[in-house]
Amino acid sequence: MALRGLAHSGPSSRGPSEEAVAAAEERRAPVVVAAGAVREDDEEDDGRGRGLLRWDGFSAWLHCVCVVGFDLELGQAVEVIYPQHSKLTDKEKTNICYLSFPDSNSGCLGDTQFCFRFRQSSGRRVSLHCLLDQFDKDLPVYLKKDPAYFYGYVYFRQVRDKTLKRGYFQKIAPEYFEKSEPYLEAACNDVDQWPAPVPGKTLHLPIMGVVMKVRIPTCHDKPGTTQIVQLTQQANTHISVILPTVHEVDLFRCFCPVFLHSQMLWELVLLGEPLVVMAPSPSESSETVLALINCISPLKYVSDFRPYFTIHDSEFKEYTTRTQAPPSVILGVTNPFFAKTLQHWPHIIRIGDLKPAGEIPKQVKVKKLKNLKTLDSKPGVYTSYKPYLNRDEEIIKQLQKGVQQKRPSEAQSVILRRYFLELTQSFIIPLERYVASLMPLQKSISPWKSPPQLRQFLPEEFMKTLEKTGPQLTSRIKGDWIGLYRHFLKSPNFDGWFKTRRKEMTQKLEALHLEALCEEDLLLWTQKHTEVETVDLVLKLKNKLLQADREHLPVKPETMEKLRTHIDAIIFALPEDLQGILLKTGMT
């Protein structure tokens, strides 16, 4: 997104080569970077008064900006990386080179924007100075940092040029090519001055004369709401662009060719089924893939997804092999070669050009996979999947009525997003209710014993709860909900969701245990026990404080302060030689 703002200004005078610029980030949205740009430790604060070193501000948003050039003899190559100290392995550079250009068959004349995602190389060094962990805990689960992947955002331009052998001239971020590296450096310097990506704050982000107003969502926001809209009633003359969302695409535009089957696609994404989107360009493929993973929000899609995937990708062999079942992944592709290579995949969406707002393409049909034989196969959803739930005719009528009345695409997206949200919540609420019952009673928490364990999740026990407290309480949709749940409990999305919930509940138990300790008269306890036992208690209490800080346990600040007071009182009641030893351990 930052790159789009950077790249929207000016033509190129670079010369007869294909050019590309890609900004590689480390969160699904330009919000959180897991491993910031690695800088030299002896760089000094540049005097901005924020207590940050040079490029710390930039690293909170982006990893780097790359210029990728194409030479007819040499092929693609990364020509420039900025900031210059940013590290990319040869494998990462190769992925960026190929993913920054549309496939030759795409025919992307004019401007094209798209995104891609690829695995980081193993053993990558993470900046020890990165301050993003404290922000990550306040993000919605679907926006939390993703340290195993890079995200790239590309601005691509192609115009015909008869003087070139290939018949056209390709370029990206045209202002860069007119003003060369000083422009790129100035843009990156602007990003380096941005405030930290704090969830919940309204941020003003200036870049090359444009000021963007954004708000990063928090885990406390009500799902489906857009807080930034409520903050824009007053005129802000210095604001150039107001972004109501930092991560959502035009949902209806992407689902428009297949909205008759949107509920079936929701099931496929929910269950983590292997899914391929075959599109005419990287723009269509990347937007559609992002729309698919977004449709189960606020549930996080935990499997791999590739908005734009090419035959040169480092995981190409892994994902196209026929020696094993297709993995749980969503791929966006444009090369016709994939129609044959991925013919064994169980679910394939083939779409045509996405229509401008106000237009609607002919609705595609569900077709058998055996019909996907030729490269010119018609648009359609190729699958033998039988949905568990009956199709909701009400939402289809509502969207069709909107098309007839020429309702704006943004309004249609709001309707579709609300429908998906209510469907996902109806599905998740029974699971949330059952998992909450696995929490031990608060009265079972003793300050002098380890926190109690959560009860085990028992699928059959959960299934029995659905008869009285199932999704029928909140959803009008009929069908085999039980079958859908049984399938979901075997999926990666359930594993990811339950792992997160179990961690949250375990942390809550740890926090309640800390509070129980604080309510005890610990000094009185030490008077009845030996010095060895007292020292052991002090060390355990200090470890509790460290754990609470390290794991961001949901503990009130006053509870932490009370525990520190307890520790100090116990230490100063001990002999001086022991005081000196315990005080040296810190945390007092």
Other CB atoms within 10 Å distance of the CB of residue 494: 20
pLDDT at 458: 97
The Cα–Cα gap between 87 and 449 comes to: 47
pLDDT at 160: 57
pLDDT at 172: 57
Residue with tokens 């009528």: 397
Chain-centre distance for alpha carbon 406:
32
329 CB-near residues (< 8 Å, 6+ apart): 274, 275, 303, 304, 305, 306, 319
Preceding amide of 182 cis, omega within 30: no
The Cα–Cα gap between 499 and 269 comes to: 19
pLDDT at 126: 56
Q: For residue range 367-401, what is the model confidence (pLDDT) as tens digits?
A: 766 656 554 567 888 899 999 999 999 999 999 89
What single DSSP character describes residue 446?
Answer: -
**Whole-number Cα distances in Å, 209 to 7, 195, 234, 241:** 12, 17, 21, 11
Q: For residue range 32-51, what is the model confidence (pLDDT) as tens digits?
A: 222 333 333 334 333 344 45
pLDDT, mean of each 10-residue run, the chain (588 residues)? 28 37 35 29 40 79 85 78 89 90 68 88 59 76 87 76 51 59 85 91 88 88 66 54 76 87 96 95 93 94 95 90 92 90 91 62 66 63 93 92 89 93 96 96 88 94 94 93 97 96 94 90 88 88 89 89 89 84 64
Domains detected in the chain: 56-194 (no CATH), 251-418 (3.40.50), 424-490 (no CATH), 521-585 (no CATH)
pLDDT at 162: 55
Residue with tokens 């608060």: 442
The token duo for 339 is: 């129609």
115 CB-near residues (< 8 Å, 6+ apart): 151, 152, 153, 154, 286, 290, 307, 308
The token duo for 277 is: 């989107």
Specify the pTM.
0.84
Preceding amide of 298 cis, omega within 30: yes
457 CB-near residues (< 8 Å, 6+ apart): 434, 435, 438, 498
